[in-house]
Structure 1
Amino acid sequence: MSGLLFVVSAASGTGKTSLVKALLERVNNLHVSVSHTTREQRTGELDGVHYHFSSKEDFLALMEQGGFIECAEVYGNYYGTAQATVQQQLAQGHDVLLEIDWQGAEQVRNLFPQSKQIFILPPSQFDLRQRLSNRGTDSVEVIEHRLGCAVEDMQQYSNFDYVIINDDFNKALHDLECVIIANRLVLAQQSTRHQKLIEELITPMPE
């Protein structure tokens, strides 16, 4: 049985990473694919857990071979999701979740049109500005620039299958979990997952 592929995207500061982390604690058999990156490994990060750390040469070689289902260059570093890993997990019947930006989601959509794509929105621009400010690490100019970029990112919401407003965290988490569960209950998934049971149920019993 093939697993389901979910994509979660959002603008910076929307709470996507926190929602995904909480979701993994509530939903079984849901795997987050570990991305490859060429950036330096930071203190406390584990290779194969936080990222697959790679040289730029190895990354570009794999990219030229079509080894990534999505990849991008961000501030001089490359990031990508390996196609072989995702395909293997799906083939084993595991549901896979990709936490990526909208550009990556678009690439995945082209390769996996059956993927279920979810976009997270904040309740307001004011709230988003507050979240970006509360990090306490950026200047006003940087925050305003990031807000402008976030507005451009949020304009992509209409290309996704589901939209969740992260106003109340617990409600947004519940909504996200509902999307996962609902897609697991569609006819095609249930017919395959419970084929033996269904066949027994619909077969007339001998008199």
Structure 2
Amino acid sequence: MSNQTDTESEMKPVIELASPPHLRRLVLTGFMGAGKSTIGRVLASRLGWTFLDLDAHLEQRTGATIPQLFDRHGEARFRLLESTALASALGQSNTVLALGGGTPEGLTNRLLLEQTPATFTIFLDAPFPVLFDRCMMQGIARPVLEDPDAAQLRFSARHPLYRRLAHLTIDTTVLTSEETVDALIAALTQTPHDRL
């Protein structure tokens, strides 16, 4: 007879993916509504790692919100601040990092992601209408989505960048957060470490 409580038996085990120097950080990318923050928190918990949201990291470093940074400095200056925050975040180990939707647009950011050793990038993919509906259901004000046609053009421009950066792409269209994390862990444990 097991001594485990019901809660303990329902908990998912912490997964050992690899030991350094093979894999030190997982990076989640994708458009808004893809679930980067939600899935990132669950994934980090399952791995026993730290979760870091790049936007929150940038806000903490600058003492200003993302909208305030855009208003005060414009997008070009914001992207420079974002690059320095990304470099800082990529210096951390045993971390699941959720990028902002526009982070891969900058060449500096793409190079940082591609050239930082032991970094594995995951693209959480879904069609634009699905992502748009998810954002609307969240009830969070997103100025980028005020013009759906412009937002879809932005999505179309970013999509090839997400795919190019990704070591792994997961279609989240019909998956719950838990199902997505299960699929990610299954794929990661089957990936040869010499390819990371």
CA–CA distance in structure 2, aligned partners of residues 143 and 135 of structure 1 = 16
Q: Percent identity?
A: 13
Partner of 2:137: 134
Provide TM-score, normalisation by structure 1: 0.57
Kindly tell me: are residues 135 and 162 of structure 1, through their superposed partners in 2, closer, same or farther at Cα, counting changes over 3 Å?
same
Q: Secondary structure at the match of 1:14?
A: coil
Provide TM-score, normalisation by structure 2: 0.60
CA deviations 1:34-79 (Å, max 9, x no partner) are 6543x5xxxxxxxxxxx33359xxxxxxxxxxxxxxxxx7485432
Answer yes or no: is 1:31 the counterpart of 2:50.
yes
Kindly tell me: are residues 164 and 85 of structure 1, through their superposed partners in 2, closer, same or farther at Cα, counting changes over 3 Å?
closer
Equivalences, count: 152
CA deviations 1:139-197 (Å, max 9, x no partner) are 874333223212222222431110001121132121122344445x73799xxxxxxxx
Q: Any residues of structure 2 matched to 1:39-188 within 5 Å, and which?
A: 51-53=60-62, 74=75, 77=78, 78-79=81-82, 80-81=84-85, 83=87, 86-87=90-91, 89-90=92-93, 95-100=94-99, 101-103=103-105, 106-112=110-116, 114-122=118-126, 124-136=127-139, 137=141, 141-159=146-164, 160-166=166-172, 167-169=174-176, 170-182=178-190, 186=193
CA–CA distance in structure 2, aligned partners of residues 182 and 27 of structure 1 = 15
CA deviations 1:95-133 (Å, max 9, x no partner) are 2322213246513234325521110101x3322232233
- Structure 1 unaligned residues grouped into runs of 5+: 40-50, 56-72, 190-207
CA–CA distance in structure 2, aligned partners of residues 25 and 5 of structure 1 = 14
Alignment root-mean-square deviation, CA: 3.4
Partner of 1:22: 42
Higher Rg: 1
CA–CA distance in structure 2, aligned partners of residues 181 and 114 of structure 1 = 15
Kindly tell me: are residues 143 and 133 of structure 1, through their superposed partners in 2, closer, same or farther at Cα, counting changes over 3 Å?
farther
Higher strand fraction (1 or 2): 1
CA–CA distance in structure 2, aligned partners of residues 27 and 156 of structure 1 = 27
Structure 1 runs of 4+ aligned residues shifted over 4 Å read 33-36, 73-76, 82-86, 138-141
